[in-house]
Structure 1
Amino acid sequence: MKKIFVNARFLTQRITGVQRFAIEISKILKRELNDDIVFVAPKDIIHKEIAAELNVKIVGHNKSHIWEQIDLRRFLIKNSSPILLNLCNTGPLFYRNNIITIHDIAFEIYPQTYSKKFLITYKYLIPKLAYSAKQIITVSEFSKSEIIKYYNISDNKIHVIYNAVSPEFQQIRNADLEKEKYFLTVSSLNYRKNLNLVLKAFDDLSKTEKDIYLYVVGDLDNRSFSNYDLQKYNLNNRIVFLGRIEDEKLMEYYTSSLAFIYPSLYEGFGIPPLEAQKCEAPVIVSDIPCFHEIFEDSVSYINPHDPIQLTYIMNLHLNYMNRFQQIEKGLDNEKKYDWGKSAKKVLKLLEECER
């Protein structure tokens, strides 16, 4: 195989599911290919330890999309236009020897979720990249069907390669948390994450159940989503906003929770519920196609527009209904997803593109 180049701009971004996919796949590809793979990034890297592990090459002077469109493309052309693997939705537009990863097209379905600048950029870039790329990776059969539907892309051009849970994730018991009864959600003020549903359902439940808590993990920056008003929930002292926390602490919260709640309106995959399953937490998710594909019968499903139903399901979990059966199913389900298997599929695709 000829030398492979990887767009490592993800190392300049905060870690969400998209960046997690890129990081875990990249680590395995580096171990497999060693000097036959080159990771290229702009200078504003924030994940320096990962960059060192990948032996990242810094090129150019620009940042963000401008770096991809100018500096990265120029560097690749100077290096005989090799195959470029893009793992985080975007890549150089006028460079055809591309594999592009499109995790989902939520911006097409829920445009109110995103800033005007983001929408303009993605609505311009993503369709053009999808048409021009040699191959497309996505993370679920559902996302594949959406890409085909919205962009009229050929079925055999799109390859489903699933996410998984980082090897470090495991059950970690915390004696103090074990004394509490609480539900957990990982969210943001992004409209499609549907945090309002959890807050409303728990607020109602807490009026009759006096010894339970809701812990909310995630970045809740009101400046980005002005349609959210958390003020009324601040009055409920049993709703605790934890902000962003380290993975080890997150594992502790997963492990001791009554249930983990993830009521998204739209997802391409959904890593946090899988993390919760690995940490032996029961999981409640929204009744959407993607989650049925990934979780099958290992979770409880709720209507993402019905807080009354969520309150009812939370009450069942409060009383430990079918808890151990769901934990067992969750552990079996999580084992189906493996970064090693996913990386092998990426490697196979790279080999096919070199032929």
Structure 2
Amino acid sequence: MNILINSRFLTQKITGTQRFAIEISLQLKKLMLNVVFVSPRNILHTKIANELNVKTIGVNTGHLWEQVDLPVYLKKVGNSLLINLVNAAPLIYKNQIITIHDLAFLKHPEWFSRKFYLFYRTLIPKIAKKAKIILTVSNFSKTEIINLLNIPSQKVEVIYNGISNKFSFNPSIKKENFILAVSSLDPRKNFKNLILAFKKLKLKEHKLLIVGSKNKVFSNQEIEQLIKETPNIEFTGYVPDEELVNLYQRAKLFVYPSLYEGFGLPPLEAMACGTPVVVSNVASLPEVCGDAAYYVNPYDVNDIAKGIETVLKYELLQKELIKKGLERVKLFSWEKSAEKLAKIIEEVVQN
């Protein structure tokens, strides 16, 4: 049986979910010879598409391609097993494995545009019921999928994110006086409280550098205005991975005060680059970061400020967090995750 990978993620900007799909796909390509990658024509990442030997099909793009062109093609090629790695999947197709990274749209609909919320509120429960297997990226998300979607636990498998080798520690690079935050500017990332905490500290020798892009699906907020009002806060927008690695390596501290995560890859990327990490004590982050981070209450501006101040103040704590972080990231590997997925696929095919 041919195994098809829904590669619509190659037509999207790279955020955490697309990175998961890309890295897992690159590893699956090495492990499984009978995997075929199919995508709409409007591919953004041509180099990756060439590595995967992607086949472009259909005439539509976006959700319309996924809901119309892709099922039509699947029927033509004999109802192959379809693997979906980025949340959405064809509504009318049963022979598929889907991936639900988190259920933020159900837990916090106020963070999203109404159109986005209604689409996923309709789609996700239905494809979850029909799917052979549901993949997710943490035990935290697995528990929410079981409880909120009423899915049997044996139907949900956890496949952790990994760390790309490009995120690496270079001891020859000197740390500089800036605090780094990395993510898209959506409400769950809690940048408002981070900025308020930073302003509260009145750090004259350190600046706050925020890296990320604003996604149009999220509700309006005042973060951009707060950034403009504070001279030692800099917003870079989206940066390519090569530049991002350099920022991680040079940062004195990485802060991730997220209110909700299905996984939370940036803290691990920072750890891999030898930077101490301050993160929220909620959702999946304690599961992912273990004892290698300094934890704060993301709802409490004073606690976020205290966490930043404490780690900046004590050099021994910084060294301890760096050491533990470099050990922690060894637990997360795209190769191991892809091997686990390959076994799951083989079991579904055999059954």
Q: Same fold (TM over 0.5)?
A: yes
> Residue 102 of structure 2 corresponds to which residue in structure 1?
104
1:204 and 2:203 are equivalent in the alignment:
no
> Residue 179 of structure 2 corresponds to which residue in structure 1?
183
Q: Say whether the 8 Å CA contact 1:222–1:228 is kept in structure 2.
A: no
Distance 1:303 1:244 in 2: 27
Q: Residue type of the partner of 2:295?
A: Y
- Secondary structure, counterpart of 1:39 in structure 2: strand
Q: Residue type of the partner of 1:304?
A: P
Query: Please, which runs of 5 or more residues in structure 2 have no aligned partner?
Result: none
Distance 1:222 1:103 in 2: 19
- Shift in Å, 1:221: 6.3
Distance 1:198 1:215 in 2: 11
Match among 273, 276, 283 for residue 279 of structure 1: 273
Distance 2:55 2:89 in 1: 17
Sort the Cα spacing of 1:308 and 1:83 in 2 relative to 1 into closer, same or farther, 3 A.
same
Q: Counterparts in 2 of 1:30-179, with a 5 A limit?
A: 30-34=29-33, 36-172=34-170, 178=174
Q: What whole-Å deviation, never above 9, does each CA across 1:272-310 have from its counterpart, x for those lacking one?
A: 000000000000111113111111111011011111111
Question: Percent sequence identity over matched residues?
Answer: 44
Distance 1:255 1:317 in 2: 17
- Shift in Å, 1:225: 3.8
The alignment covers a number of residue pairs equal to 349
Q: Say whether the 8 Å CA contact 1:107–1:119 is kept in structure 2.
A: yes
Sort the Cα spacing of 1:153 and 1:240 in 2 relative to 1 into closer, same or farther, 3 A.
same
Distance 1:65 1:91 in 2: 9
> Residue 227 of structure 2 corresponds to which residue in structure 1?
233
- Shift in Å, 1:33: 2.1
- Shift in Å, 1:200: 0.5
Q: What whole-Å deviation, never above 9, does each CA across 1:33-90 have from its counterpart, x for those lacking one?
A: 23x1110001111011111110111110011111111100000010010100000111
Match among 321, 324, 344 for residue 326 of structure 1: 321
Q: Say whether the 8 Å CA contact 1:61–1:71 is kept in structure 2.
A: yes
Sort the Cα spacing of 1:50 and 1:221 in 2 relative to 1 into closer, same or farther, 3 A.
closer
Match among 228, 237, 253 for residue 247 of structure 2: 253
Distance 1:174 1:348 in 2: 40
- Secondary structure, counterpart of 2:204 in structure 1: coil
Larger CA deviation: 107-116 vs 213-222: 213-222
1:316 and 2:310 are equivalent in the alignment:
yes
Q: Which runs of 4+ in 1 moved over 6 A?
A: none
1:353 and 2:351 are equivalent in the alignment:
no
Sort the Cα spacing of 1:73 and 1:223 in 2 relative to 1 into closer, same or farther, 3 A.
closer
Q: Say whether the 8 Å CA contact 1:161–1:342 is kept in structure 2.
A: yes
Q: Residue type of the partner of 2:157?
A: H
Q: Say whether the 8 Å CA contact 2:175–2:251 is kept in structure 1.
A: no
Q: Say whether the 8 Å CA contact 1:100–1:136 is kept in structure 2.
A: yes
- Shift in Å, 1:230: 2.9
Query: Please, which runs of 5 or more residues in structure 1 have no aligned partner?
Result: none
1:9 and 2:14 are equivalent in the alignment:
no
Match among 190, 207, 213 for residue 213 of structure 1: 207
Distance 2:35 2:96 in 1: 15
Q: Residue type of the partner of 1:109?
A: K
Distance 2:18 2:157 in 1: 19
Q: What whole-Å deviation, never above 9, does each CA across 1:74-110 have from its counterpart, x for those lacking one?
A: 0001001010000011111111000001110110011
- Secondary structure, counterpart of 2:188 in structure 1: helix
Q: Say whether the 8 Å CA contact 1:215–1:239 is kept in structure 2.
A: yes
Distance 2:216 2:70 in 1: 34
Distance 2:305 2:320 in 1: 21
> Residue 339 of structure 2 corresponds to which residue in structure 1?
344
Distance 2:250 2:348 in 1: 46
Sort the Cα spacing of 1:224 and 1:295 in 2 relative to 1 into closer, same or farther, 3 A.
closer
Sort the Cα spacing of 1:306 and 1:58 in 2 relative to 1 into closer, same or farther, 3 A.
same
Q: Residue type of the partner of 2:132?
A: K
Distance 1:179 1:299 in 2: 18
- Secondary structure, counterpart of 2:37 in structure 1: strand
Q: Residue type of the partner of 1:297?
A: D
Q: Say whether the 8 Å CA contact 2:5–2:82 is kept in structure 1.
A: yes
Q: Say whether the 8 Å CA contact 1:98–1:134 is kept in structure 2.
A: yes
> Residue 25 of structure 1 corresponds to which residue in structure 2?
24
Question: Structure 1 length normalisation: TM-score?
Answer: 0.95
- Shift in Å, 1:321: 4.7
Distance 1:309 1:318 in 2: 14
